[in-house]
Structure 1
Amino acid sequence: MTTAVETFEALRRRLTGALAVPGEPLYAALTAGFNVAIAATPAAVVEARDAQDVVEAVRFAATTGRAVAVQATGHGLASTLDGAILVHTGRLDECVVHPDGWARVGAGVRWQQVLDAAAPHGLAPLCGSAPAVGVVGYTTGGGLGPVARTYGWASDRVRAIEIVTGDGVPRRVTATEEPDLFWGVRGGKGALGIVTALEFDLVPLPEVYAGALYFAGADAHAVVHRWREWSSALPAEATTSLALLQLPPMPGVPEPLAGKFSVAVRFAWTGSQASGEAVLAPMRAAAEPLIDAVQTIPYAGIGMVHADPVDPMPVVEDTDLLTALPAEAVDALLAVAGPDARSPQVIVELRQLGGALAAEPAQPSALCHRDAAFVLTIIGVPVPPIADALVPHAAAVRAALGPWATGGALPNHGAAAGPERIARSYDAETLTRLIELTERYDPAHVLRAGQVPVRPAA
């Protein structure tokens, strides 16, 4: 009987990096994801040391009829990857910031590394709310960050992509070289191949007036309604989100918030502190904040705005896009997720879109839904006694806001796999074009595992 080690021995011999199979210590380390509610069980893991290792893994998968998936930090894990070859890109750690305003990073780099490298030059990458997330997965899914209404989507700042497409060919992709791939990879996540490096523009922003106001649950009605009215008139220098929080009493959670219902208003302002204070004043006056953490900070500390968790944890997520947020929508949201609703969710969040996010990019891409007004994200932690209540309650929240939902979803929010989710992530025209590109660049359909496949399973 052939063992797992023998099955993959031919691939192992062709690698510069390592190969691990179930039962080996490296396998456990490389299959761990951020969401520990999902246990990845690929047939083998390739720890790539260079782009050629990715080529070898993809070609081996094609000749043996296996699927390929990719992971760097594990934040996008959405399925168990049973039987697939998982390409782990965490060792592709090149990170070079050019003082004239752009960066080149390998697929294993996290945003905090770029933030720290760019800071001495007064430059800023368009990272997400959680700087521990990987650059590539975030950017290829669009990239919605704390200053996004000023500067737009991270994917629109990409200038070059190095990728191994599903046919096992390494390619350099720009707006003029392989323009179809340049369109599809920016927004199409991993549907067309495994990205090994990205080059993207930075923005000059050494510091930012940013942070969060935290209010007591008793003030939720006044605060959320004020946020709705206030945000509707914000200029593009402001990016904001609101979160209904039920944070557990655990290390790192401030005492005024631990074990209580609270409301967080996140705010980032790319103008001067004085003008930012004037813009934020109506929210500061909505109620007495429990915590006022809005201040001028180095841009490299942008992660404090959302204060997202950094340690792996089990989560169940859901999401929607909204066309608007009238007063009726706020009332519907508070009825099902407010302080008196007995919601089991840890976070129910609304991020305002618009501003530069609504602009058409200089180079078109597969990123859809630029006309949405808000993104709703629902996050629960599946632990007793609330675990069984999370999914039905998330459905109830979505139903309450259903009259204002677009039916769409952003690829990076509420990580999920399957054709229903793919159909929500792209409009029909974009999905048709992505499928045509996968047929051209992935004829063996090796990229069929995980969150990103756009073609139905064979």
Structure 2
Amino acid sequence: MNSDDIRTQQLVLRPGDAGYDEELAGFQTGFAQRPDVIYAATSADDVEAAVAYAAGAGLPVGVQATGHGLPGDSEGGVLISTRRMDEVVVDAAARTARVSAGTRWGQVVEAAAPHGLAPLNGSAPGVGAVSYTLGGGLGILAREFGYAADHVRSVDVVTADARRRTVCADTEPELFRGLLGGGANLGVVTGLEIALVPVARLYGGSLAYDGAKADAGAVLRAYADWARTVPDALTSSLSALVHPDIPALPPHLRGRYVISVRVAFTGSADEGERLVAPLRAALGPALTDSLREMPYAESHTIHSDPDFPHAYYGDSAVLREPAVEGVSDLLALCGPDASSMHVVQVNHLGGALSRPAANSVPYREAGWLVRILSPLDGTDREAVRAHHALAFQQVEEQRMGRSLNFAFGGGDRTEGLYDAQTRKRLADVKAAYDPANLFRTNYNVR
């Protein structure tokens, strides 16, 4: 297929065409993409045609659903936009759902809820379900059920030979393993069949503390000690940030350094209260306390992630142990005395996350994950990257690697995203299915 052929198809855009800039718009506004061709796909047939064109023209292929996880700036090539492919079909009897490439987690939660079921989604309903799962998928129920990638039954994918395949652990096991955890390296995934879990409600919310009155290191130590005592059915995290002083925020948060512990527990509310009581006692009076029983459809309120597009840079450190002193130093570097805003999150891992699975999600023996996300509006990108490097030096001795799901804008840095054995296995699959490295506009495994 030549260039003239592809431009006769519907929703194919080049620079200067009406709708080109609008099609590129996504959640991440801090990095610019300027592809030679945008293929706004509405079906797997469209994806197949776009891959065939790119392969014939020798152009790299990138994929965008919601635009949350852009690897960085890019110029040229083909971008396949999948946001119109947003179908969800729930099979309540089988406890599964089929989700298309552009589906957002909020849509899956909404479709599953009437059946008393839930997906293994993350904290933000606007995130793309497929791209999240291909990165592993560390969700709000992760300690009880594991990674979202662990619950994928089959993958519909267009590979570099422009061939549509449906793969599972039995048909093409190495490709299946590589797709789940390997991100966008091996093809364009057009849909997933995922298992749902029988969760209709949970006990959850957050305890927020005024960082001007509570020592961040002491809060972290109390949280880490408490987290080691809870059952796998309780997943939690700690966050720390200086809230901007803007009218959109409640008065009690504006300009304040707030340290929060977030909780999601699938047991009863009474048992949840009993489990959280020692933490409440250790930390004292909270600035706000939103812990309650809720329908699973309200689980996004636990984190209340921003739902508007903005510019940001992010990275992470997967740790064997919490290294409280090191993480405390990291918190201090990213706290009120920092020259720009940084959001730190510490996730308690373990439980089902440590179980082996037939995919490429690494570092399952890890106990903790530390993430830093920094807004870029009005700040120098390189200064932010340098600050991240300094902050993560504080936990370098315990650092096992980095998480693909939480690498935001650092596509030129792929070290640490996989352990050596997993990277070698991914490289072998890449050589078999994409020897020309067509799919390289991502966190590329060569």
TM-score (normalised: structure 2) = 0.95
Question: Any idea what SS the aligned residue of 1:210 has?
Answer: strand
Equivalent residues of 1:40, 1:80 under 8 A apart: yes
CA distance in 2, matches of 1:358, 1:180: 21
CA distance in 2, matches of 1:52, 1:251: 47
Q: What is the aligned partner in structure 1 of residue 155 from structure 2?
A: 161
Q: What is the aligned partner in structure 1 of residue 12 from structure 2?
A: 19
Question: Any idea what SS the aligned residue of 2:180 has?
Answer: helix
Deviations, residues 80-125 of structure 1 (Å, cap 9, x unaligned): 2311100011111211111121100110110000100111000000
Does 2:351 align with 1:355? yes
CA distance in 2, matches of 1:121, 1:414: 34
User: How many angstroms does 1:393 deviate by?
Assistant: 2.2
Q: What is the aligned partner in structure 1 of residue 284 from structure 2?
A: 287
Q: What is the aligned partner in structure 2 of residue 3 from structure 1?
A: none
Equivalent residues of 1:241, 1:265 under 8 A apart: yes
User: How many angstroms does 1:191 deviate by?
Assistant: 0.8
Q: 1:440 to 1:331 in 2, by over 3 A?
A: closer
The 5 Å alignment of 1:132-211 reads 132-211=126-205
The 5 Å alignment of 1:89-128 reads 89-100=82-93, 101-128=95-122
Q: Unpaired runs of 5+ in structure 2?
A: none
CA distance in 2, matches of 1:155, 1:251: 39
The 5 Å alignment of 1:193-342 reads 193-217=187-211, 218-221=213-216, 222-285=218-281, 286-339=283-336, 341-342=337-338
CA distance in 2, matches of 1:71, 1:342: 33
Match of 1:346 among 342, 351, 368: 342
Does 2:10 align with 1:8? no
Q: How many residues align?
A: 442
CA distance in 2, matches of 1:102, 1:33: 28
User: How many angstroms does 1:385 deviate by?
Assistant: 6.1
Equivalent residues of 1:246, 1:261 under 8 A apart: yes
Equivalent residues of 2:34, 2:76 under 8 A apart: yes
Q: Unpaired runs of 5+ in structure 1?
A: 1-5
User: How many angstroms does 1:321 deviate by?
Assistant: 1.1
CA distance in 2, matches of 1:192, 1:47: 20
Match of 2:60 among 63, 67, 70: 67
Equivalent residues of 2:269, 2:293 under 8 A apart: yes
Equivalent residues of 1:48, 1:89 under 8 A apart: yes
Q: What is the aligned partner in structure 2 of residue 453 from structure 1?
A: 444
CA distance in 2, matches of 1:301, 1:142: 23
CA distance in 1, matches of 2:131, 2:289: 32
User: How many angstroms does 1:346 deviate by?
Assistant: 3.1
CA distance in 1, matches of 2:14, 2:269: 53
Q: What is the aligned partner in structure 1 of residue 429 from structure 2?
A: 437
Equivalent residues of 1:220, 1:338 under 8 A apart: no
CA distance in 1, matches of 2:52, 2:104: 27
CA distance in 2, matches of 1:385, 1:194: 34
Q: CA RMSD in A?
A: 1.8
Question: Any idea what SS the aligned residue of 1:66 has?
Answer: coil
Q: Which stretch of structure 1 is more off in the superposition, 312-321 or 378-387?
A: 378-387
CA distance in 2, matches of 1:183, 1:334: 36
Q: Which stretch of structure 1 is more off in the superposition, 243-252 or 48-57?
A: 243-252
Q: Specify the code of the residue in structure 2 equivalent to 1:346.
A: H
Q: What is the aligned partner in structure 2 of residue 29 from structure 1?
A: 22
Question: Any idea what SS the aligned residue of 1:87 has?
Answer: strand
Match of 1:399 among 384, 390, 393: 393
Q: Specify the code of the residue in structure 2 equivalent to 1:19.
A: V
Q: Which stretch of structure 1 is more off in the superposition, 276-285 or 118-127?
A: 276-285
Equivalent residues of 2:334, 2:342 under 8 A apart: no
CA distance in 2, matches of 1:166, 1:202: 30
CA distance in 2, matches of 1:282, 1:414: 34
User: How many angstroms does 1:338 deviate by?
Assistant: 4.2
Equivalent residues of 2:88, 2:98 under 8 A apart: yes
Equivalent residues of 2:207, 2:260 under 8 A apart: yes
Q: 1:302 to 1:92 in 2, by over 3 A?
A: same
The 5 Å alignment of 1:52-91 reads 52-91=45-84
Question: Any idea what SS the aligned residue of 1:265 has?
Answer: strand
User: How many angstroms does 1:58 deviate by?
Assistant: 0.8
CA distance in 2, matches of 1:186, 1:331: 33
Q: Which stretch of structure 1 is more off in the superposition, 434-443 or 149-158?
A: 434-443
